[in-house]
Copies of this chain bind each other. A is one copy, B any other.
């Protein structure tokens, strides 16, 4: 995004971060509170106190702003616990994710995905900035599980991550029933344990 900022400070007024931060904050709040429909450049400008032109100076369009707001404000709030059991760590993290996504963050995420359907760059940004990194984290936990014998060694990690986290996103985006930690726990149990009877 920015090349050659390392070299000697350029002339002119430097870019007071407050404006940028206020914009991102407002963007995120609007996304949370009113979803994609209420997320208007004008609304962001009004709420943040910034001018529309200031927004367009830093982000090329509303999709980019939406993603940026999300990444800046809410993205990295859920870490993985680290205990001796990878399965327990996974399950715990899924439950915490469900808890968080079940509230305002869920609205934001679904708005972002919706935006992504008609805005390839926004989708790309969401994937690269959020989805893929988190998948990688999950895979590390899985690898740990394989290493210590908790998990089968023939697992396809991509499939497993889809199996564990896909349903969570599905419940955000297609809310046929509420997204709760309890449900997430049962989901983990079913997937880890399989569906076949134990002999």
Whether A35 lies near B170 (C-beta < 8 A) is no
A190 to B163, CA, bound (A): 8
Whether A169 lies near B159 (C-beta < 8 A) is no
The complex is assembled from copies of this chain, and their number is 4
9 pairs, CB–CB < 8 Å, chain A vs chain B: A113-B117, A116-B174, A151-B197, A152-B197, A158-B177, A162-B170, A162-B187, A191-B191, A192-B194
A193 to B156, CA, bound (A): 13
Whether B135 lies near A190 (C-beta < 8 A) is no
Chain A at the B interface: mostly helix, strand, loop or mixed? helix
Sorted nearest first, the 5 A-B pairs with minimum C-beta distance are: A194-B194, A166-B167, A166-B170, A37-B118, A114-B114
CB distance from A55 to the nearest CB of B (A): 15
Q: Does A127 contact B (CB under 8 A)?
A: yes
Whether A196 lies near B194 (C-beta < 8 A) is yes
Given A151-B195, A174-B131, A197-B151; A159-B117 close (CB under 8 Å): no
Query: Which chain B residue shows the least CB distance to A37?
Result: B118
A116 to B176, CA, bound (A): 12
Query: Which chain B residue shows the least CB distance to A177?
Result: B158
Q: Does A45 contact B (CB under 8 A)?
A: no
CB distance from A45 to the nearest CB of B (A): 13
CB distance from A193 to the nearest CB of B (A): 5
Residue in B131, B150, B152, B186 whose beta carbon sits within 8 Å of that of A176 in the complex: B131
Query: Which chain B residue shows the least CB distance to A193?
Result: B194
